[in-house]
Copies of this chain bind each other. A is one copy, B any other.
Amino acid sequence: MKMRKPIPVKEAVDRVMHYAKSGKSETVDFTDADGRRLAEPITATNAVPSFNKSPYDGYAFHSHYSQEASASRPARFKVVERIGAGEVPSKRLGAFEATRIMTGAMIPDGADCVAMFEVCHDDEENGQPFMEIKRKMESGQNVMTAGSEAAEGDLLIEAGSLVNPGTKAVLATFGYDKVAVAIKPVIGIFATGTELLDIEEPLEPGKIRNSNGYMIAAQVKRAGAIYKDFGKLPDELELSYQKIKAALDEVDILITTGGVSVGDFDFMPEIYKRLGAEELFNKIAMRPGSVTTAAVKGDQLLFGLSGNPSACYVGFELFVRPVIQKALFNPNCYLRSAHAVLGSDFPKPNPFSRFVRAHLEYEEEGLVVYPSGIDKSNVVSSLAHADVLMVLPGGTRGFSKGDQVKVLLLEDMRGSETFLL
């Protein structure tokens, strides 16, 4: 049996990222841009507001004529026009003239302030509307100046950002009816192992249902890529080699689960050899997932994730997700990390770094992390409840409630520029 030398997690990440490729862009309709990542920065195509605008319903006039106004001697204005949002004022205001103006409407020429309805008093003389105000207004008061929120050409959103509801508002405001976004890389998935049944098959002795393939498909989607599910492979070397070889023509990146350990039917190392793929590593100083393997053939990355569901999950998030982020123009390729306090004892030491499925609570005293896989019962459901991976450095001692630990945020979509370990 060949002994494998484990490398540190950070080195494994670096080896993989050395081969990660920058993305390509495509143009999609505005409507289809949700959840995509911007291939180009978004800049302001016009000033906002593009005209001097009223932020309130009220009266526009020149503040000069209100300087002497008081409770006992209100300033009195003739109301010469009424304009709603979207209308263009036709009157230029003179001395003691005002325009009744609605929120969002254009400030007329000759006006430099807006007084809200609440501080004005309306009346009429022979059908002619007038308005009185008992306080003085300042020049510029309640006027949104053209360009005060954004100047034409301003950088608004960086390339690589995820299109969220706020992004949609920005794109719409500036007329981006077509949007340049990153092309989603295509990630192929094979689940290996003669023990695997399809989801709709009844259990048989010695067999389990394929869950890793479907789990990774969902992880690929969450990471922003497209999956191509090639189904299951039995423990047969020649067949597996042929199918994997063929699949490489259809995908950007290929993931297999299982077949990377030292068992008699762990064929992935041999398949990499036959493919002429160079193994980047086949053992990492981590738990779970120490047998996680990566290889490169030409410019294609191949990931051999563990067949153990937790190890498979962790291997994807640590090694495959950053490669996908790079292809999506996201400069923050890595999982975002946070500092938290351990919410329960985790006594068993391990010489390797551990990535423990856990959930994060935002408590009054700060972030507290609760490992989900602390006892063996319901290991299965702990994957569904995890929103972070708790990072426990390898060593000779266990960890106690109250210890400071780092966590990696699985549901965060911003990410981090550096792999923080």
Q: Which residues of A contact B (CB under 8 A)?
A: 1, 30, 34, 44, 46, 48-51, 57, 82, 84-88, 100, 102-106, 117-118, 148-150, 154, 156-157, 161, 163-177, 193-196, 199-203, 205-219, 221-222, 235, 261-266, 307-309, 313, 336-339, 357, 362-364, 366-367, 376-387, 409, 411-414
Contact = CB atoms under 8 A, between A and B. Distances in A.
A169 B84 contact: no
B84 A168 contact: no
Given A87-B206, A166-B215, A384-B166, A263 B366 contact: no
A169 B216 CA distance: 9
Given A103-B308, A166-B383, 4 more contacts: A87-B206, A165-B383, A166-B382, A168-B211
A133 to B, nearest CB: 15
B313 A169 contact: yes
Given A173-B208, A205-B106, A218-B164, A156 B199 contact: no
A4 to B, nearest CB: 11
B149 A378 contact: yes
B264 A384 contact: no
A269 to B, nearest CB: 13
A214 B172 contact: yes
A161 B384 contact: yes
A364 to B, nearest CB: 5
A134 to B, nearest CB: 16
A362 B337 contact: yes
A312 to B, nearest CB: 9
Contact of A206 (B86, B117, B207): B86
A194 B117 contact: no
A57 B263 contact: yes
Contacts of A157: 381, 384-385
A154 B148 CA distance: 59
A148 B379 CA distance: 9
28 contacts: A34-B218, A34-B221, A48-B379, A51-B205, A57-B261, A84-B265, A85-B195, A87-B206, A103-B308, A104-B307, A105-B195, A117-B262, A150-B377, A157-B381, A161-B384, A165-B218, A166-B313, A169-B211, A170-B384, A172-B211, A173-B209, A175-B200, A175-B202, A175-B203, A336-B362, A339-B366, A367-B367, A387-B414
A339 B362 contact: yes
